[in-house]
Amino acid sequence: SFVSSSSSQPVSLFSTSQVHDLIFWRDVKKTGFVFGTTLIMLLSLAAFSVISVVSYLILALLSVTISFRIYKSVIQAVQKSEEGHPFKAYLDVDITLSSEAFHNYMNAAMVHINRALKLIIRLFLVEDLVDSLKLAVFMWLMTYVGAVFNGITLLILAELLVFSVPIVYEKYKTQIDHYVGIARDQTKSIVEKIQAKLPGIAKKKAE
């Protein structure tokens, strides 16, 4: 079951520390495998349809498991052994998702969904003018990004950044923090000037 015996909370597939170690290349072999596999999959999706990629992946997996099953059956027949099914240990694993675990996952998902809906309402109904303007500017910039890149290309770039930026930042943290601090101060100064000129914002701050 996915539910821990010591707690009613669902067991996470990946802990924060595992993700951290993965993107910081603590285990080069593991990170290399994950990075290479996902990158090949994304490149395949960029070249072929989703149906084709999924079909080929399933065929590849079935080819491996069927070949191994036949191989072990032949070996057992020749050696006249009684080892049984080669995947018996995996077939006996309990992967049942209990109703309690399902409800825990759904409750956790609903928290994020409700938070996202509240944020969307705030932005589109202009509760805070500056935040709504920020969203408008961001969406305007994304129209140019969308004209150059498609979704798969952006995912490929995102993966390259996820597996490269953290390790680069860790190595050059001091220099990067210095320039980020300068950029943050300049951005804050510009935002404050804009807020001072917008009607109602200065008054709201004074209150």
Per-residue pLDDT of 127-169, as tens digits, reads 888 889 989 999 999 888 888 888 888 889 999 999 999 889 8
Residue 197: closest CA among 129, 117, 135: 129
CA-to-CA distance for 73 and 79, rounded, in angstroms?
10
HEC readout, the chain: CCECCCCCCECCCCCHHHHHHHHCCCCHHHHHHHHHHHHHHHHHHHHCCHHHHHHHHHHHHHHHHHHHHHHHHHHHHHHCCCCCCCCHHHHCCCCCCCHHHHHHHHHHHHHHHHHHHHHHHHHHCCCCHHHHHHHHHHHHHHHHHHHHCCHHHHHHHHHHHHCCHHHHHHHCHHHHHHHHHHHHHHHHHHHHHHHHHCCCHHHHHHC
Model confidence at 4, in pLDDT bands (50, 70, 90)? very low
Positive or negative, the CA dihedral 29, 31, 34, 40 is: negative
Single-letter code of the amino acid located at 115: R
CA-to-CA distance for 17 and 128, rounded, in angstroms?
36
pLDDT at 56 over 60: yes
8 A C-beta contact, residue 19 and residue 163: no
| pLDDT value of residue 88 | 83
> What average pLDDT does the chain have?
83
pLDDT at 78 over 90: no
Instruction: Please tell me which residue, 85 or 205, carries the higher pLDDT value.
Output: 85
Cα–Cα–Cα angle for 95, 1, 38, rounded to 5 degrees: 50
Model confidence at 65, in pLDDT bands (50, 70, 90)? very high
pLDDT at 64 over 50: yes
Model confidence at 201, in pLDDT bands (50, 70, 90)? low
pLDDT at 11 over 90: no
Model confidence at 97, in pLDDT bands (50, 70, 90)? confident
Q: How much of the chain exceeds pLDDT 90, in percent? A: 29
| pLDDT value of residue 18 | 83
Which whole number is the average pLDDT over 195-200?
Answer: 68
pLDDT at 13 over 60: no
Q: How much of the chain exceeds pLDDT 70, in percent? A: 88
